[in-house]
Structure 1
Amino acid sequence: MEQARRVEADVDSCDPCLSVSHLSLRFGAGCPSCMAPDAALERNVCPVCGTVHAVRDVSFDVYPGEIVGIVGESGSGKSSLMKCIYFDQDASEGDVRALPFDGGAGNILDLSSQHKRRVRNTVFGMVYQNPYLGLRMDFSSLSNIAEQMIASGERRVDAMCERGYELLGEVNIPARRAKDAPALFSGGMQQRVQIAKALSNNPPILLLDEVTTGLDLSVQASVLDLILRIRRDYGVGMVVVSHDLGVIRMLADRTLVMLDGRVVERGLTDQILEDPQHPYTQQLVYSLI
């Protein structure tokens, strides 16, 4: 609890680097029955028009150096939420502000395609659950990092090589493997290359979507240790999505619990673990015992 109090004090001393307000994502036109605030849905599907409400009015802030965890079962909307923030999916409604981009002056969801690419390449670093979404598997690891740097305007080959070797060393990829393609790597090594690529432009915000799913326990532990070391060394704000509350317990300062597209509980991770209020959160916590 002492660590949680220190985090809370640090959070209070600065502005959020990422602010998400009333974000929603629907698949379908919607109808008066399901668009009402107190709509009675079947899970997250409208029984009248069949619209799927993947994300429903989600709000949260992330502060510099803070890790916010989002936990929930498959289909709860947590990955869809990340896709909306990273512009992989167009949100139906919402307001997302990124302090490092424009001081938080405007809703980045309303930006042009050109400015969204700039935000993706300079403000955010994204690590996908499936490395095939985040890496070019037939390019070398160095080339993957260089691609991200080129997208943000870097043109000096020597600078890209130097940065690439530095980051691969940070994530414990041997220098002799730097010119190997990620397709030749294990799942854990592919995730570490993804993390190195995401860090290439020193983004102030990292988005991590189920980065340990499918990995052996020992590999999971090394990836989680790496994430904590990145937070310590770089001071970036992070959003970590997982279906595993054990992962969230190790990483997150604050946690949001999602079910059927909604946030059903939120708070300091320690508080949620010690005194869960929502029945679904209680089920998650009791599964750890």
Structure 2
Amino acid sequence: MQNKPVLKVVNLRKQYGPGCDHCSDGNGLSLDKNRCLKCGTVYACNDVSFELYPGEILGVVGESGSGKSTMMKCLYFDNDVTSGKAYISSYNYGKTNVFEESPQQLRYIRNTILGMVYQNPVLGLKMDFSSIGNIAEKMIAAGNRNVEHMENRSKELLKHVHIPITRIKDEPKKFSGGMQQRVQIAKALSNQPPILLLDEVTTGLDLSVQASVLDLIKTIRQELGISMIVVSHDLAVIRMLADRTMVMLDGKVIEHGLTDQILENPQHAYTQQLVYSLI
């Protein structure tokens, strides 16, 4: 693993509400979990910091409402951040806080440097477009105009994620949940991004389908060397995939380290509860 991170996030904060004298630092005594009892402000992400390294899978685990998905939407610019910094090594040599960039530059980063796979495929796919059309759309957004190249690339990716060649022109609405997730993964990979964000991609899938999606993610990492952030409330998924793990609770990172260390010797009471629930 190289020393220079491909992504560095510093004190990411996303709050819903104005804050007040009791909670403006996000650590006030008036907070009940991550909500201020005085003004009602919710600190969905509260000074989250981490680094992602080349070829690494970083797992993020925590219960519903812990801030995992909010963090991912901030990283993909679906949500504006309240404050914080993020640096991407392949963008301006990692010297620019991407959260301060213009909407035009954010679109460029989304389309060329980042890939996103949502828990709900409706957020990541146009259900009435063909599967091949969904992938081509992402490539067009990145500036590709070569129709033959886009068609060949789309077919190659759909084959890679095990979508039958006979179905590449079918709309995702005709697919099962597992197939929809695989089309999302193919779309996310279309412009060869160095960073892939996966948010609860196996939630709601049958166990056998979950296993095939997880195997696909491992294969992609092995073959393409892409760095990934994998969010899950299921520590078994993180155990299977992640090199390092970050545990979130009430918008904060409460523990982080090598996945083996987190699983074998959890320090925080909440992490201990998560780990022992697997035994």
Q: TM-score, normalised by structure 1?
A: 0.95
Question: Letter of the aligned partner of 1:35 in structure 2?
Answer: S
Q: Deviations over 1:167-193 (max 9, x none)?
A: 001000011100000000000000000
1:103 counterpart SS class? helix
Q: Which residue of 2 aligns with 1:127?
A: 117
The answer to whether 1:19 aligns with 2:8 is yes
Cα distance in 2 for partners of 1:37, 1:27 equals 12
- Selected match of 2:238 from 245, 248, 254: 248
Question: Letter of the aligned partner of 1:179 in structure 2?
Answer: K
Q: Which residue of 2 aligns with 1:30?
A: 19
Contiguous gaps of at least 5 residues in structure 2: none
Percent identity between the two aligned chains = 64
Cα distance in 1 for partners of 2:50, 2:234 equals 20
Shift of the alpha carbon at 1:257?
A: 0.4
Bigger Cα displacement from structure 2, 191-200 vs 38-47: 38-47
Shift of the alpha carbon at 1:37?
A: 5.8
Q: Deviations over 1:158-211 (max 9, x none)?
A: 000000000001000011100000000000000000000000000000000000
Cα distance in 2 for partners of 1:178, 1:92 equals 41
Q: Residues 83, 219 of structure 1: CA spacing in aligned structure 2 closer, same or farther, 3 A cutoff?
A: same
Question: Letter of the aligned partner of 2:194 in structure 1?
Answer: P
Q: TM-score, normalised by structure 2?
A: 0.98
Q: Which residue of 2 aligns with 1:153?
A: 143
- Selected match of 2:181 from 191, 195, 213: 191
The CA RMSD over aligned residues, in Å, is 0.7
Cα distance in 2 for partners of 1:174, 1:38 equals 52
Bigger Cα displacement from structure 2, 135-144 vs 28-37: 28-37
Question: Letter of the aligned partner of 1:132 in structure 2?
Answer: V
Runs of 4+ in structure 1 over 4 Å off: none
The answer to whether 1:95 aligns with 2:82 is no
Cα distance in 1 for partners of 2:140, 2:180 equals 21
Question: Letter of the aligned partner of 1:27 in structure 2?
Answer: Y
Q: Which residue of 1 aligns with 2:56?
A: 66
2:151 counterpart SS class? helix
Cα distance in 1 for partners of 2:245, 2:268 equals 13
Cα distance in 1 for partners of 2:26, 2:145 equals 50
Q: Deviations over 1:115-154 (max 9, x none)?
A: 0000000000000000000000011000000000000000
Cα distance in 2 for partners of 1:165, 1:261 equals 40
Cα distance in 1 for partners of 2:93, 2:52 equals 14
Alignment of 1:173-192 (within 5 A): 173-192=163-182
1:155 counterpart SS class? coil
Q: Which residue of 1 aligns with 2:223?
A: 233
Question: Letter of the aligned partner of 1:117 in structure 2?
Answer: R
Shift of the alpha carbon at 1:102?
A: 1.3
Shift of the alpha carbon at 1:83?
A: 0.6
Equivalent pair of 2:178/2:205 in contact (CA under 8 Å): yes
Bigger Cα displacement from structure 2, 31-40 vs 250-259: 31-40
Cα distance in 2 for partners of 1:38, 1:79 equals 21
Q: Which residue of 2 aligns with 1:205?
A: 195
Q: Which residue of 2 aligns with 1:84?
A: 74
2:213 counterpart SS class? helix
Shift of the alpha carbon at 1:36?
A: 3.1
Shift of the alpha carbon at 1:14?
A: 3.2
Shift of the alpha carbon at 1:43?
A: 1.0
Shift of the alpha carbon at 1:100?
A: 1.1
1:19 counterpart SS class? strand
1:35 counterpart SS class? coil
Cα distance in 1 for partners of 2:27, 2:178 equals 43
Structure number having the greater helix percentage: 1
2:155 counterpart SS class? helix
